[in-house]
Amino acid sequence: MSTERVAVVTGAARGIGRATAIAFARAGYRVAGVDIAAPASSAMDYGPATPEDLVQTGRLVEDAGGEWLPVILDQRDRAAVSEGFAQIVERFGGGEPTGDVEQDERTAADAQRKKLPLGVPWIEPEDVAPLVVFLASEEARMVSGTSFAATGGDSANFTA
């Protein structure tokens, strides 16, 4: 079994997932990039990621000094996730997943759209990736059970 650190990044073909994969590579991780690379939700106003997008992420990860494994799968399919995890373990060594995130995509997309008319900009993927790498690092070993809002200060608009 390898003792090197491995990051499994979902949504790796574009956006925050891509930026996070690159940031993990720069931090010395071996990176498995997981993406459906196809239409995933009708709630989104932008086109789907493609296999070519995932290939481009791989090039960028390798350019950043990382080892790359692309895994195309639909994370809503438990059997596909098990098969994908087996590919990752075969390539990078054993381990257990450390997190599983689910969200209501339509609700999240609608909530973000409501903010846009107020002039709240979208944050850039590169603004979120360092937080993800920090949370996976030894420096964050005492952090648990908390949420981090990467909002560019938008959270100051809300009062109790």
pTM of structure: 0.67
pLDDT tens readout for residues 83-129: 999 999 999 987 665 544 444 455 665 666 565 544 555 677 888 89
Strands 30-35 and 68-72: parallel
> Per-residue confidence at 1, pLDDT binned at 50, 70, 90?
very low
CA torsion 98-103-109-114 (nearest 10°) is -100
- Which domains, from first to last, does the chain contain? 6-150 (3.40.50.720)
Neighbours of 97 (CB within 10 A): 9
- What average pLDDT does the segment 131-145 reach? 90
pLDDT tens readout for residues 119-134: 555 677 888 899 999 9
Listed range (6-10, 53-57, 145-149) with the worst mean pLDDT: 145-149
CB 12, CB 33: distance < 8 Å:
yes
- What average pLDDT does the segment 31-49 reach? 83
